[in-house]
Amino acid sequence: LTQWYKNAVQVRGGDLRITIPATTAAGPSLQKTQLKKLKKPISECSVAASGQPGFDVLLPMGNTMVLCECRYTEPPDRERSSNKISPAEDVRRKTVLAEGEVKASKATIQSGEITAKASAFVLVAHRATGRLEGFAELCSKRPQGKKALADWHSFM
């Protein structure tokens, strides 16, 4: 997985072996999918349906399901405040939500039923503030708030 996502920083878990999916000349169909409700095999990239908690894109890569959450942070200007990526909301909480969706799903990939152990959560962020390594370290530190602490226990 780390060869596919260059310059990524891993927060927890081990590196997963993936298979780069073959695409047709037209590319993937990008069907909208709600993972928890899906009971059929997932063989190509899918966009999460509206209301799908935890992630935006499902990408089966061999025996691994890659769940991508896409975040864009904007610099502050006169009309908008900046949208900062946070370890509690954007990493730990989304990871816990994604794991719950995977566990509730009956969908399959190449190796069989989708499992949390054979899944990867990838946060794709644009204009993240600060060093990526520092942000990754924050994701593994014990938070202060009750809700963030509950997510942290599930995350770790």
* Verdict on whether the full-model pTM lies above 0.85: no
Cα–Cα distance between 34 and 51 in angstroms, integer? 8
Instruction: Using alpha carbons, select from 134, 125, 109, 132 the residue that is nearest to residue 44.
Output: 109
Q: Where are the beta strands (DSSP E) in the chain?
A: 31-33, 46-48, 57-61, 64-72, 108-109, 112-113, 119-126
**The residue type at 125:** A
pLDDT band at 132 (very low <50, low <70, confident <90, very high): low
Share of the chain above pLDDT 70, in %: 62
Enumerate helices (H) and strands (E) in the chain, giving the number of each: 3, 7
Return the pLDDT at 61: 86
Q: Over 70: is that where the pLDDT of 126 sits?
A: no
